[in-house]
Structure 1
């Protein structure tokens, strides 16, 4: 029953917030054509597409690993996704919480920390530093994405004219062709929807590799006989 309340809440928020669009190739061209008049920051991170309805956490961590060169393109597959999910303790009923994500990342060559006071300005600052931020918000009743970009009119803090971009592992569920699994939404709408399924607000994770020059091996990912 408690999860039904979360689902109902998600539908209410989504109905008030408006649609979340997948960035098609034509829309991307149109958007960047306007970028000369806007202040745009965009990271080269792709949204690996999750293969189940509960593995957004492991999937977005894969996107983070790929961004930092810790996984190769050939390793971005379901076997890796489900192996990481098993190591994290991801479940069909609960998905993956911030503590599980942080624990896994800290055990696999990252310095990771979960925080609960996120802001749009913090996200913009981290983007300019080249650091993707993982955020948990109410889309799909609770969903992990990586903040990939931010666009706003110059010399203004008017959120009505700002757009936030995500590397989104569930982009394909919308049935639209996306560019690298990127979705976007009005920044003000996102700020009002930045809460998880337990109604905790503004949760985010910052994770950076301890050694930028090394890659994770499959054996390191597997752990001790945890994956076939």
Structure 2
């Protein structure tokens, strides 16, 4: 029904367009009220003193030594199965502004996020960028600026942004296609790339026995899985990222 409505909307007169816009908004509102996503199962899969996962207090980690991190980065859990991108963007606006000007579903509307029932569900790189561009932020992304061509370039790219205080929104094959935010990188103080650790704000953090919104991932493993095989169109599936900062931060 959403797909049909949106297709008609392109050709309808003003009155019909208004009616269909209202209908679409109502559907979005229902989806929001119904909950869903990781937010609907907060802490239900937590395991105290997990024998398999070490629980790190990421929020209170301090920048310094081998660790480069955006301290006290606030996280969220997405409210639907398809709004990982808007949820990731919400954390970025919160990081810079203290309080996000829009909630997750309002961000999704501006981004043109596709619901789970639509073709190509979720949010592409253009949609992620659109939200921040409409706010007047300085935006860089993989489509116009390119992406790191190898792991060493990736490591340098991440460290440069984090040292500038800039979180990096990234999409990869996690969950079959998922936006997260790189907020930390630990070189472990040596030249062994294989033990580098990536710290991410994850809006669907349900599988590591502590749903705190943070994920610890081997940096090399992330880099070689940094692609999308299902949701994005060909030519836009590899190493997608977005950074956005308010003008005063550039």
Determine if the TM-score, normalized by the shorter chain, exceeds 0.5.
yes
Gaps of 5+ in 1: 1-23, 213-228
Change in 2 beyond 3 A, CA 1:210/1:29: closer
CA contact (8 A) 1:111 1:209 kept: yes
Equivalent of 2:171, from 136, 144, 155? 136
Q: Deviations over 1:31-88 (max 9, x none)?
A: x99x99x61111132221101110011001000000001525xx78xxx111111121
Distance 2:90 2:57 in 1: 27
> Which whole-Å deviations, capped at 9, do the CAs of 1:77-103 have from their partners, x for residues lacking one?
xxx111111121111242000001111
Deviation at 1:175, TM superposition (A): 6.5
Of residues 199, 203, 212 in structure 2, which corresponds to 1:165? 199
Q: Which residue of 1 aligns with 2:210?
A: 177
Q: Deviations over 1:135-172 (max 9, x none)?
A: 1111011111110101122241x22211001011111x
Q: Size of the alignment, in residue pairs? A: 178
Task: Identify the structure with the greater strand proportion.
Answer: 1
User: Contact 1:59 / 1:81 at 8 angstroms: preserved in 2?
Assistant: yes
What stretches of structure 1 move > 4 A for 4+ residues in a row?
A: none
Q: Distance in 2 between matches of 1:83 and 1:29?
A: 30
Q: How much has 1:26 moved relative to structure 2?
A: 6.0
Query: Do structure 1's residue 47 and structure 2's residue 80 form an aligned pair?
Result: no
- Aligned equivalents of 1:162 and 1:82: distance in 2? 35
Find the counterpart in structure 1 of residue 46 from structure 2.
none
2:223 is matched with: 191
Alignment RMSD: 2.7
Which residue among 132, 138, 143 is the counterpart of 1:105?
A: 132
Instruction: Give ranges in structure 2 of 5+ residues lacking alignment.
Output: 1-49, 149-153
Structure with larger Rg: 2
SS in 2 for 1:124: helix
**Given the superposition, is the C-alpha separation of residues 105 and 161 from structure 1 closer, same or farther in structure 2, using an over 3 Å criterion?**
same
Given the two structures, how large is their TM-score scaled by the length of structure 2?
A: 0.64
TM-score by length of 1: 0.70
Residue 209 (str. 1) matches residue 237 (str. 2): no
- Relative contact order, higher structure (CA 8 A, sep 6+): 1
1:130 aligned counterpart, secondary structure: coil
Q: Decide which of 40, 55, 60 is 1:27's aligned counterpart.
A: 55
Q: Say which is worse superposed, 83-92 or 52-61, in terms of deviation.
A: 83-92
Pick aligned residue for 1:67 from 83, 88, 95:
95
